[in-house]
Amino acid sequence: TFNESRSEQSVEPKNILIRNLNLKNGTNRLVAENTSGKPMYLNLVRKGIPLVSDLTIPQKGMSMQVEYVNMGMKPVDHRILVQGTDFMMVTRVKNITFSRIENIALTEMVPSGWEILNTRLFEADYGIKESSFDYRDIRDDRVNTYFSLNQGETKTFVLILNAAYKGEFYQPSVWCEAMYTENCYSGVPGNKVIVTGQ
């Protein structure tokens, strides 16, 4: 049921049903009911221009810390960089539950003024060791990393970036969540970044 409009759809096992929802301003309500007795997974994907916000993002089951360092491992202010600067985004995710968390998805989006240079950190010695992961999907504007965490374990992931284009840009939040476990997520809010001339 979406906004009081009910529709029914039978889906065979391993099939995917995609439906576009016409959102209205204000509150929207979506209810999915599974009468099959078998597991059903539901993903809600939203597209649009993110609101610029400095709000804190809640965390549950995981904690996350993101820091920015230059190629010599010294901290840099990522909010204002000189064009041409190479730097690293270091993300640490920790399991703060009392059990193992499987199938975690970490989404690291970069502002359009930055370029992702090289994520194969193990091929070079930059003074930081990247943790193992199950799979990594590298796009022009983001890197999605999939992994699991044992109880109390922390994993470190590194992106090598370049401040490529002058201007003001918005960096979306960094978000991490367990894909099939309820109430297990963490994030770091987005912010405005500036790339200046040399």
Each residue's pLDDT tens digit, 8-24: 666 676 677 777 777 77
For 142, residues 6+ apart whose C-beta sits below 8 A from its C-beta are 107, 108, 109, 110
Q: Residue 190, class by beta-carbon neighbours within 10 Å (0-12 exposed, 13-18 middle, 19+ buried)?
A: buried
Q: Determine the Cα–Cα distance for residues 79 and 81; give it in Å rounded to an integer.
A: 7
Each residue's pLDDT tens digit, 126-170: 678 889 999 999 998 999 999 999 999 999 999 999 999 999 999
Predicted pLDDT of residue 53: 57
Out of 52-61, 117-126, 166-175, least confident range: 117-126
Residue 109's φ and ψ, nearest 5 degrees, are: -95, 145
Predicted pLDDT of residue 122: 46
pTM score of the predicted model: 0.72
Judge contact between 115 and 83, C-beta under 8 A.
no
Going along the chain from its start, the domains and CATH numbers come out as 62-196 (2.60.40.690)
Q: Determine the Cα–Cα distance for residues 40 and 35; give it in Å rounded to an integer.
A: 10
pLDDT band, residue 3 (cuts 50/70/90)? low
Of residues 122 and 95, more confidence is placed in 95
- Calculate what percentage of the chain has a pLDDT beyond 90: 58
Q: Determine the Cα–Cα distance for residues 107 and 99; give it in Å rounded to an integer.
A: 22
Mean pLDDT value of segment 64-72: 94
Mean pLDDT value of segment 89-110: 96
Q: Determine the Cα–Cα distance for residues 102 and 150; give it in Å rounded to an integer.
A: 8
Each residue's pLDDT tens digit, 39-50: 877 777 766 665
Q: Residue 93, class by beta-carbon neighbours within 10 Å (0-12 exposed, 13-18 middle, 19+ buried)?
A: buried
